[in-house]
Amino acid sequence: MRSLAFALALLIVAPALAADRLYLNGAIVTLDKRLPSVSAILVRDGRIAAMGESAALMARAPETQVIDLGGRTVIPGLIDSHIHAIRAGLSYATEVHWTGAATIAEALQRLRNAADTLPLGGWLIVAGGWTELQFSERRRPTQDEIETAAPDHRIYIQHLYSSALLSKSAVEALDLARNGALLAQLKTQNDSGELKGWLSGEADAITALFDLLPRPSREQQIEGTKAFFRKLNSLGMTGVMDPGGYNLPLEAYGAVRELARQKQLTLRVIYSFSAPAPGSEFDDFDRLTKDRPLGAGDGYLRFNGIGENVTWGMYNNDKPSSDDKAGLARVLGLAAQRRLGVTFHWMNDRSAGALLDVLESVNAQSPIADLRWSIAHLHDASLPTLARMKTLGVGWLFQNALYFRGGAFVRQRGEEAARVSPPIVSAIDKGLKVAAGTDAHRVMSFHPFVALQWMLDGRTVDGERTRDAREIPTRLQALEAYTLGGAWFSHEENERGSLSVGKLADFAVLSDDYLTIPVERIGALRSLMTVVGGKVVYAAAPFEGREE
C-alpha cells in the first residue's frame, strides 16, 4: 500500500480547496501524462480542484460531500467527434430503435412494444442504426413479418441510406403510387414494379422517402433531444461534435438551441453548418458566419465552423470538375479569412487528391494549420494521403463504419486493403491529429464502447476479422482518440478530454475496467455515473438518485 507521504507527493492542488464534491477510492484514468492514474478527484465549481490519493484529499477536505467509487474505473468523458446528434435527437422520441437487437424476433418485439403505446394507425419508424448482420438470422425482416408484428400501424424501416421497407398501410398513407418522380429513383424486389418488399435507391432517394414521413412536433423534438442525450450520457458520453449534414436544415437546430437556452443540455455540443443549398454556398456561409465567430456560444453549445457538406459539388463526388474545385476554394478562402473550422465528408482515397489539391491551393494563400480542419470517413486512407494531410495540419476523424460494412468492404476491395483499413496506427505514428466517432444514427449505432471494441479487435458485427495487428491501437490510444482527440478539434484540449487540475469535471464511472477486461467485453461497457461540469447527469446503481 502506498504511504501517506507518497500519496501527498502525488497530490496536485489548485489554489483553492473549497469543493462541491470529493470522489474517492476509484481507479481513475486521467490521460494526463504527468499523473496518469489517481484514486480521488476533488471538484469545485464544475472543475477539477485537486487530484491525488484518497487519504490525502480526504484529510485536506474533510467537510466535503463524498462519493465512494468503490474501486471502479473512471475515464474522461467520451467525445464522439462525428455524430449527427442534433438530427438524431429530433426524432428519437418518435422512433423504434433496433440498436443491439440480436435477432429478428427481438427487433419485431420492439415494434410490438412501441405499437402498444400508440393509437391505431400511428407510425412506427426505424430510422437506421442497425444491420441484418447483427441478427442471428443474417437477413432483414420481410414485409409480412413487420405487418404481423404491428398490423394496426403504419411501419417504415430504413437500412443505412440504401433501402427501406414499408408496410402496405404506410405505402398508401404516403400515396407513393402517385409519386412518379420518386418511384423512378427506387427499385423494388420484384419484376412487376409493385410497391412490395424492400425498396432500394441512392441516398438522395431514400432521404426523399424519409422526408415524406410525418415530422415530430416541436415538443417531441425537444423531448427526443433530451432523451437521446441522456442515452449518450448512459454510455459515458459528455460531448459530441455534430457535422451538420446535407439533410439537416437550419431550422433543425431549434430544439438544441431551446435546451441550451433553458440550460437543460447534458452534453457539450460542438456544431457546424453545412451548405444549405447548392449554388449559393459562398453567399450562404458569408451570411451565416458574419456574426458567428469560431467558438460562439457557451460551454454547452458552441459553433465550430462549416461542414461536412462544404459545397455540393464536392460532396460524395469522386470526379469533381474544375468548377467544383473552384467553388470549394472560394468558400474555403472565406473560412480561412474568418478563422473558422472546416470538416469534410470524403469517402474514398482514390479521389482524396482532388480535395487535397484544393486545400493546398488555399493554404498557399492563407495557412490553415492552426485552424484544425479535418477530413471525416476516408476509411481507406493511404500513407501518401495521410502524409499530405499532416503537412497541411489537417486532421482525420475516423468512424467505425467498417464494423457494419467490413464484409462488404472485403468483397469490394479485397482482404489486403481491409487489413489496413482504417489505418489508425499509421496515422497516429505519423503524428496526425485523429479523433474517433460513429457517424450515428442512420448509418451506425451510437454506442461508443462498441466503436472502441471494434478499434481494438478489428472485427465486424458478425465476427469477421478485417483489420490486422498493424493497425490495432493500444487501449490508451483508442481512448485518447475518443476523448482528447475530439477536444483538440474543437480547440478545447486545455478544457477537457483528460482529467487534470483546472479542467472541466467531465468524466464517467464505468461498469467494468476498460483497461483490463477481455476486449470482446468492451462493447458491453456502460456508465454507472456520468458527470458533466461537476454535475451528475446520469446515474445508475449503485449511484442512483444522485442526478442533479
Phi–psi pair at 22, nearest 5 degrees: -120, 120
Length of the chain: 548
Give the tens place of pLDDT for each residue, 179-217. 989 989 999 866 555 778 899 999 999 999 999 999 999
- The structure's pTM equals 0.94
Please report the pLDDT score of residue 141 as a whole number. 97
Give the tens place of pLDDT for each residue, 385-401. 999 999 999 999 999 99
For cell 480542419, the residue is: 373
Give 209's contacts (C-beta < 8 A, 6+ positions apart). 164, 182, 186, 199, 201
122 by Cβ neighbours in 10 Å (0-12 / 13-18 / 19+) ranks as middle
CB 311 within 8 A of CB 344: no
70-83: average pLDDT = 98
CATH class of the domain defined by 4-76+511-515+524-539: mainly beta
Q: Please report the sign of the dihedral spanned by the C-alpha atoms of residue 34, residue 39, residue 45, residue 47.
A: positive
Instruction: Give the C-alpha separation, 516 to 503, whole Å.
Output: 26
Phi–psi pair at 319, nearest 5 degrees: -135, 65
Q: Which of 94, 182, 108 is nearest to 142 (CA)?
A: 108
CATH class of the domain defined by 218-495: alpha beta
245-255: average pLDDT = 92
Percent of the chain's residues with pLDDT above 90: 91
Asked if the model's pLDDT at residue 230 lies above 60, the reply is yes
Asked if the model's pLDDT at residue 10 lies above 80, the reply is no
Phi–psi pair at 279, nearest 5 degrees: 95, -20
CB 94 within 8 A of CB 220: yes
Beta-carbon count within 10 A of 251 CB: 7
**Cα angle value 358/363/365 (rounded, 5°):** 105
What residue segments make up the domains of the chain, in order of their start?
4-76+511-515+524-539, 95-210, 218-495
Asked if the model's pLDDT at residue 348 lies above 50, the reply is yes
CB 495 within 8 A of CB 505: no
Give the tens place of pLDDT for each residue, 466-518. 999 999 999 999 999 999 999 999 999 999 999 999 999 999 999 999 999 99
Q: Which of 341, 516, 356, 523 is nearest to 435 (CA)?
A: 341
